[in-house]
Structure 1
Amino acid sequence: MNILFLCTGNSCRSQMAEGWARALKPEAFTAWSAGVETHGLNPLAVRVMAEAGVDISGQRSKLTTDLPEGVTFDYVVTVCGHTNENCPYFPAGTKVVHVGFDDPPTLAKTLTDEAEILTAYRRVRDEIRAFVEGLPGSLETDGS
């Protein structure tokens, strides 16, 4: 099955979800991620994923229009509220599920201590991992 993780800027949460799905569920899913905008790959997301043994450094921030032509998605998972509200149209047969996760850059915005900043990123990383570990069953209920 093809699964797309969709977020506003495709820089952090959707990238983590793609990385986890590729690492934990390669037999069940071909995973992709994209955004309604592109903000570049977040270096702290790359760092905390590497700490967990998942290398996402080769992924890139992309729009849904940058995905390969002809790929149809069985599932589209929106991982932030903005994208859930502004989700692009997907053909009938694609199940769109919203599972909101906190935005690590927003959580870290007022923090100055690197350890606290990384703690915020790690918390979201681990929440996304738990969601992906529950796939495909976690797709059967709307997480909004």
Structure 2
Amino acid sequence: MKKKVAFICVHNSCRSQMAEGWAKKLGSDILEVYSAGTENYPEVKPLAVQVMEEAGIDMSGHYPKLLSNIPEEVDILITMGCNVVCPFVPNSHSQDWGLTDPSGGLIEDYRETRDIIKEKVEDLVKRVRNKEI
């Protein structure tokens, strides 16, 4: 049975979207992947889409979602580092990744965030496979 994982931040327009993309690519056999935010936002940041495309992940169909668009309870809750009180979804395991939001920065900032998220998702997938989570 797949574990439900939700990547949560405020706008669901950058970091949580990247995490969703990586988790679907790297762990779709063991994870049911969601991402969401607490506030409406018009689009996924174009630079986030661009740098993920550079890494071979197509996020062109992604759009910002709200907490009401994902399951009410998940197995794993990952917050991105919200700089405010992070949203809560009932879960059996949670982590805050404390990632700086690259929004408004240079494309290099987005690439760095993308690569950090990939490493964190790889570790998460490994831990789920090893039944540590």
TM-score category (smaller protein): 0.7 to 0.9
Q: Which of the two has higher C-alpha Rg?
A: 1
Residue in structure 2 matching 1:134, options 120, 123, 128 = 123
What is the identity, as a one-letter code, of the residue corresponding to 1:8? V
Please give the residue correspondences for 1:1-144 in structure 2 after superposition, counting only pairs within 5 Å. 1-39=3-41, 40-67=43-70, 72-82=73-83, 85-88=85-88, 90-91=89-90, 93-106=91-104, 108=105, 117-136=106-125, 137=127
Aligned to 1:82, the other structure's residue is in SS state: coil
Question: Tell me, which stretches of 5 or more residues in structure 1 are unaligned?
Answer: 109-116
What is the identity, as a one-letter code, of the residue corresponding to 1:82? N
* RMSD, aligned α-carbons: 2.0
TM-score using structure 2 length: 0.85
What is the identity, as a one-letter code, of the residue corresponding to 2:69? D
Alpha-carbon distance in structure 1 between the residues aligned to 2:120 and 2:86:
22
Alpha-carbon distance in structure 2 between the residues aligned to 1:94 and 1:43:
33
* Deviation (angstroms), 1:57: 1.2
CA contact (8 A) 2:53 2:59 kept: yes
Deviations 1:49-68 (A, max 9, x none): 00000011111101101225
Aligned to 1:19, the other structure's residue is in SS state: helix
Alpha-carbon distance in structure 2 between the residues aligned to 1:19 and 1:124:
13
Alpha-carbon distance in structure 2 between the residues aligned to 1:135 and 1:27:
13
Question: Tell me, which stretches of 5 or more residues in structure 2 are unaligned?
Answer: none
* Deviation (angstroms), 1:15: 0.1
Percent identity, please: 39
Alpha-carbon distance in structure 2 between the residues aligned to 1:42 and 1:58:
12
Count of aligned positions: 126
TM-score using structure 1 length: 0.79
- Identify the residue that residue 111 of structure 1 maps to in structure 2: none
Alpha-carbon distance in structure 2 between the residues aligned to 1:24 and 1:47:
19
